[in-house]
Chain A
């Protein structure tokens, strides 16, 4: 298996994609809005990926609720942004935890019905007053303990509904002042200040999967963002204590530049030799 989760171009597998995926043999796939038309189509698509692989597959999606929702009405329910659970926690913590757990259950049932098995949720970044709105209402709250509690409730709900959760963006994206989809965020907070960002990840260290932040933390490694930094990865493994499957955020995000997209493409190229595969890779590498 190639250690990549690959994306697809549309709502059905193309002939080129079939040829590429057979030889590239990725660990799994990640779906975007362009792949999701309605439940029946999505179930057929996820089944076609499993048939092609000849095995069960992790099929991922970013279904957070609020503005990050690949599955949308009228075919799927609306899910609230995390900040709504934070607002409830402010007046009734136990009620908010149960609401977050039920939300995880509902998300899980919605995803499983279409063959999706991993949700890139919960987002347990701690909201910061100075942080860019790319996190904003996607975060539960600005208190690390509140975030930890609601993150755990969401993870428990997902698990109860049969879906694997991914804690993100480890070791914490809340202080980033720019959007990593567009440029590389640099966080200059001290190690003591970063401890509050690490706290939810430390408390949820037993989560099955985590997604790294494309963020530079100058106090840890001034040269490389967390995704690419052995120093930060060591902090994640040793200090935060996360021992589950660690995955990167999207390699196509501008924070990483073009080099990592090219590296991922060449990883597939090493396996793909046919003209048809090379045509697909050329598109993936655009």
Chain B
């Protein structure tokens, strides 16, 4: 790994803290919006 690649990897892997914890709710809200597609 080059130093640049290591720097970029470290930056990419700075895991963001998850802000959500309800999978079923996210899917239900998404599907409610997708239901607006005609047909």
- Do the two chains belong together in a single complex? yes
The interface of chain A, by Cβ under 8 A from chain B, is 1-3, 27, 56, 58, 77, 80, 84-85, 87-88, 91-92, 95-96, 98-99, 102-103, 105-106, 108-110, 112-113, 117, 159-162, 164, 208-209, 243-246
Q: How far is A88 from B37 in the complex, measured between Cα atoms in Å?
A: 5
Q: Which residues of B contact A108 (CB under 8 A)?
A: 18, 20
Q: How far is A208 from B27 in the complex, measured between Cα atoms in Å?
A: 25
Residue among A80, A117, A161, A245 with most chain B CB within 10 A: A245
Known contacts A109-B21, A161-B18; decide if A87 and B37 are in contact (CB<8 Å): yes
Q: Which residues of B contact A244 (CB under 8 A)?
A: 8, 11-12
Complex A-B: 30 CB contacts under 8 Å: A27-B9, A56-B13, A58-B12, A58-B13, A77-B23, A80-B34, A88-B36, A96-B33, A98-B33, A99-B30, A102-B26, A102-B27, A102-B30, A102-B33, A106-B23, A106-B26, A106-B30, A108-B18, A108-B20, A109-B21, A109-B26, A112-B18, A113-B23, A161-B18, A162-B18, A164-B15, A208-B12, A209-B12, A244-B12, A245-B5
A65 to chain B, nearest CB (A): 11
Q: How far is A74 from B15 in the complex, measured between Cα atoms in Å?
A: 29
Q: How far is A58 from B5 in the complex, measured between Cα atoms in Å?
A: 14
Given A88-B33, A109-B18, A208-B12, 13 new contacts (CB under 8 A):
A1-B1, A3-B5, A27-B1, A102-B26, A102-B27, A102-B33, A106-B23, A106-B26, A109-B20, A109-B22, A109-B23, A161-B19, A161-B20
Q: Which residues of B contact A110 (CB under 8 A)?
A: 23
At the interface, yes or no: B3 with Cβ under 8 Å from chain A?
no
Q: Which residues of A contact B1 (CB under 8 A)?
A: 1-3, 27
- Nearest-neighbor residue (CB-CB) of A160 within chain B: B19
Q: How many residues of B contact A (CB 8 A)?
A: 26
Q: Which residues of B contact A96 (CB under 8 A)?
A: 33
Q: How far is A224 from B5 in the complex, measured between Cα atoms in Å?
A: 22
Known contacts A105-B20, A161-B20; decide if A243 and B8 are in contact (CB<8 Å): yes
Q: Which residues of B contact A105 (CB under 8 A)?
A: 20, 26
Which 10 pairs across A and B sit closest by C-beta, in order of nearness? A162-B18, A208-B12, A99-B33, A102-B30, A245-B8, A106-B26, A109-B23, A245-B12, A105-B26, A160-B19
Q: Which residues of A contact B37 (CB under 8 A)?
A: 84, 87-88, 91
A101 to chain B, nearest CB (A): 9
Q: How far is A145 from B18 in the complex, measured between Cα atoms in Å?
A: 28
A15 to chain B, nearest CB (A): 27
User: Is the CB–CB distance between B5 and A99 below 8 Å?
Assistant: no
User: Is the CB–CB distance between B33 and A95 below 8 Å?
Assistant: yes
- Nearest-neighbor residue (CB-CB) of B38 within chain A: A91
B34 to chain A, nearest CB (A): 5
